[in-house]
Structure 1
Amino acid sequence: MITLLRHIHRTYSIVVILAFSALFYPFYYLASRKPAGYRLLNLMRKLNSFLISTFIGVFYLFEYEEPLVKGQTYIYCSNHFSNFDIMIMCILAKGRFHFMGKEELLDNPVLKLFFKTIDVPVNRDSKISAFRAFKKVGDNLENGMSLIIFPEGRIDGHQYPPQLLPFKNGPFRLAIEKNIPIIPVSLTNVWKKMWDDGHKKGTSPGFCNIYVHKPVSTRDLNIDDADLLKDRIFDLINSKLVHK
């Protein structure tokens, strides 16, 4: 019975997501036409994420180790187990922000409006693409636009319960080069509501816990410390995850 209800909820969730995506698409399109509208793009996807979550009955409880500084540029690093994760990070991020994500997202009719404007796509199999992507992200950071990135690089939809995958080096080298503090974010039990392989497990309403760790400074680090920084962020995120 529980399994049936979860599958019904999954179908309902997909309908809600598609309905709000269609509703917001014309506004996304108009805002994406000129750079002056880019700030509005972020505001609208925050609103869209909040409305979708509310209508499908998923609510987020944010716990902050310490308050985030208004106007500060951050690199937000989070685990990535669920299709809810992007919406959560849109709601969490402060001020101007953008994502870095896989190039395949350009195939999504809605997401490509963002990845052709404020977000940065990357082909991780191409060194040239990665170099250009991190160059653009670095420029955005210098211009005061925070970055949201999932350093695992992908969701492992096969392992259940999900486990944190090894992190890529790029975000941590960039944080050191640009002297940007990192915000580790543990999406602790979100996968219990919507695991990536939802057609097997279904979805369910309820409360999701998000632990926002205090900023990790990169001020006194050099590029040789990138691996140590990566391991530190990995351990912080993993320390709050629910694996059962």
Structure 2
Amino acid sequence: MKLILKRIHTHFYRYSVAFFFLLVWPVLYFLSRRQSRYKHINGFRRFIIFCSTLISGIFFNIDYEAPVDWKRTYIICGNHTSNLDVSAINLAVKNNHCFIGKEELLSNMVLGFFFRTIDITVNRDSKMSSFRAFKTAAERINNGVSVVIFPEATIPDDYPPTLYPFKNGAFRLAIELKVPIIPISAPNTWKVLWDTGSKYGSRPGICDIFVHKPIETAHLTIDDADTLRDEVHEIIKQKLQTA
């Protein structure tokens, strides 16, 4: 019975997201044709997230280790155990930003819109696709748009989830462009909704999100990419273990 109720909650949450998306779709479509679309589309994405999670009983407790200067551009790296991680980061990040995600998300009615307009897709099995995705990410960063990357590159299959090793693409890019990295830890989003919720369902609850202080990269060289990757991995790992 408990699993049935959790699956009902998942469907309710999904339909809530779809409802609020369709409610603002005409405005989103108009905004997607404008040059300044990042600010406005991210604003409406926050609206969809806020409304759909609120009526589903899902709340986010966002804690910042230190004040963040949102006038700067960042590469944002978080652990990934739930679709709610995207929602949490979208609420936590206060400047223009976009996500890098797998191209399969293009088939999703809601996520597909955002990946066709402001986000960046990548075929994880193609080196050429990865190269193009990071080239696009570099262009966005140079134009003042922060980029959100989940360096595990997948949601872990383990349940409860464990933190997978990080790929180093995000860290090489940060060093090449001399932009800071912001690690973000999400220790318990999986307890509310693991992955897409299709297997274990979801439930109302509070998701704790911790935004770590930015790590500067201006003094680093490409040879430091692996060290930077390991540093960010350890920061997030420690938070997950102590939260």
Residue deviations 1:5-45, cap 9 Å, x none?
32332232122122222223222222112324343111110
Query: 1:23 maps to which residue?
Result: 23
- Which residue in 2 is equivalent to 1:227? 226
Q: Mapping of 1:71-220 within 5 angstroms?
A: 71-156=71-156, 158-196=157-195, 198-220=197-219
Tell me the CA shift for residue 184 of structure 1: 0.5
Change (3 A) 1:208 1:110: closer
Deviation at 1:66, TM superposition (A): 0.4
Cα displacement (A) at 1:146: 0.7
Query: What runs of 5+ residues in structure 1 fail to find an aligned partner?
Result: none
> How many pairs are equivalent?
243
Matched residues in 2 for 1:199 and 1:103: separation? 19
Q: Provide the secondary structure at the position in 2 that maps to 1:73.
A: coil
1:26-45 alignment, distance < 5 Å: 26-45=26-45
**Greater Cα shift, 226-235 or 100-109:** 100-109
TM-score w.r.t. the length of structure 2 is: 0.93
Letter in 1 for 2:32: S
Partner of 1:58: 58
Question: What TM-score do you get using the length of structure 1 for normalisation?
Answer: 0.92
Q: How has the CA–CA distance of structure 1 residues 75 and 6 changed in structure 2, closer, same or farther, with 3 Å as cutoff? A: same
Alpha-carbon distance in structure 2 between the residues aligned to 1:26 and 1:32: 10
Deviation, 1:123, is 1.8
Percent of matched pairs sharing the same residue = 46
Contact 2:38–2:97 (CA<8 Å) still a contact in 1? no
* Shift in Å, 1:243: 9.6
Measured in 2, the distance between the counterparts of 1:36 and 1:198 equals: 34
- What residue ranges of structure 2 are gaps of 5+ in the alignment? none
Please give the alpha-carbon distance, in whole angstroms, between the structure 1 residues aligned to 2:195 and 2:64. 26
Aligned partners of 2:212 and 2:38: how far apart in 1?
Answer: 28
Cα pair 2:18 2:110 within 8 Å, conserved: no
Give the deviation of 1:198 after TM superposition.
2.1
Contact 2:58/2:204 (8 A) holds in 1: yes
Change (3 A) 1:189 1:198: same
Secondary structure of 1:68's partner? coil
Partner Cα separation in structure 2 for residue 115 and residue 15 of structure 1 = 20
* SS in structure 2 of the partner of residue 110 of structure 1: helix
- Cα distance in 2 for residues equivalent to 1:220 and 1:19: 47
Give the SS at the match of 1:100. strand
Q: CA deviation at 1:164?
A: 1.1
